[in-house]
Structure 1
């Protein structure tokens, strides 16, 4: 039950946000070997003065805080991070220096919806 939270200085039309969240959901499912039904994605737009990154160059900023269930390999997390950053770079022109991803891992039982509580992650057929 991941929660993928994007904070950005971009200003995007609703249809572009929806296309982006749909694409991120699909990338997450592909790279993290899961289904899409439980993936939550948030896009928060900020004034440029509200976000900062020491190495940033001119252009928009985009940060991803990915709250995920513990158990996935570094390689899976890195593959998803790179795919998400590439998507933002290609789709919106965010300079690579202005992209950042941070993962926070949680026990499955710490991730819940009204209808379910997450369990431990286990590898599916790859």
Structure 2
């Protein structure tokens, strides 16, 4: 039950937000070997003055805080991060230097919805 929270220093249309969320969900399910029904995505538009990254160059910033269930390999997380940032760079003209991804991992039971409580991730299922 991942929660993928994006902060972006750019204004996006509703259609752009929807297509971005759909594509990110697709990337997550592919790279993390899961299904998309439980993937939650938020997109928060920020004023440029509300975001800072020391290495940033001219252009918008994009940060991803990925709250995920523990158990994925480094390679899976890295592949998802790179695919997502490549897509964001192409879609929104964001320089590579202006993007950052942070993963926070939780035990399965710490991630829940009204209808279910997560369990531990098993790469065999």
Which residue number corresponds to residue 57 of structure 2? 57
**Deviations 1:9-64, CA, capped at 9 Å, x for gaps:** 01000000000000000000000000000000000001000000000000000000
Task: Tell whether the 8 Å contact from 1:62 to 1:99 is kept in structure 2 after alignment.
Answer: yes
- Stretches of 4+ aligned residues off by more than 6 angstroms: none
Q: Does 1:41 align with 2:56?
A: no
Distance 1:27 1:109 in 2: 24
SS at match of 1:16: helix
User: What TM-score does the superposition give when structure 2 sets the normalisation length?
Assistant: 0.99
Counterpart CA distance in 1 for 2:55 and 2:47 is 18
* 8 A Cα contact 1:33 1:124, kept in partner: no
Query: Aligned equivalents of 2:84 and 2:124: distance in 1?
Result: 22
1:96 aligns with 2:91: no
Q: Please list every run of 5 or more consecutive structure 1 residues that lacks an aligned counterpart in the other structure.
A: none
The Cα RMSD (Å) is 0.7
- Residue 72 of structure 1 deviates from its aligned partner by 0.5
CA distance in 1, matches of 2:17, 2:10: 10
Counterparts in 2 of 1:5-84, with a 5 A limit?
Answer: 5-84=5-84
Using the size of structure 1 for normalisation, the TM-score is 0.98
Can you give the 5+ residue segments of structure 2 that lack an aligned partner in the other structure? none
Q: How many residues align?
A: 125
**Offset at residue 124 of structure 1 (A):** 3.5
